[in-house]
Amino acid sequence: MFYMKQFNINYNKVGKLGEDIACRFLEKRFFKILNRNYRKNWGEIDIVAENKDIIHFIEVKTVTRENFLDVSDETNSNFRPEDNVHPWKLKRLSRVIQTYLLDYKLDDKKEWQFDVVTVLLNQNSKEAKVKLLSNIIID
């Protein structure tokens, strides 16, 4: 569990807060953040990072909870952040990743993968649970 004691929930800023927490989480695991919010008309990549000579294209999904008592990894009656990574979202991300690789001339030079970072924000305790889902297959 990754704890962040200094956040104040404002629903308009939950996504940005989740991305900030995800970046800190990744940096503590020796990821170098290369870009944030790489945008094209057809989509956006939240975080582009590098770790061990692999480029990581990272989608961040954040949800808020009153508490963490009802949240488990296996079964969860509540909405989980990763549930919002739909097939159509993966298709758009695939296109943006290919564009990024071409824009930065990395298409033949670097190994890359797609990851998802989930952030559960606890409104009561002001804590965050962060999980890295690595090497998700996209078409």
Q: Residues 81-105: pLDDT tens digits?
A: 777 777 888 899 999 999 999 999 9
C-alpha 74/C-alpha 138 separation (Å) is 23
Condensed to tens digits (0 to 9), the pLDDT of residues 36-54 reads 999 999 999 999 999 999 9
What local confidence, expressed as pLDDT, does residue 75 receive? 40
What local confidence, expressed as pLDDT, does residue 59 receive? 96
Condensed to tens digits (0 to 9), the pLDDT of residues 56-69 reads 999 999 888 776 65
C-alpha 7/C-alpha 58 separation (Å) is 22
Domains annotated on the chain, with CATH? 11-136 (3.40.1350.10)
What local confidence, expressed as pLDDT, does residue 85 receive? 79
**What is the reported pTM?**
0.82
Tokens matching residue 119: 């952030």
Determine the 3-state secondary structure of 137 from DSSP: coil
C-alpha 46/C-alpha 38 separation (Å) is 7
Contact 24, 82 (CB under 8 A): no
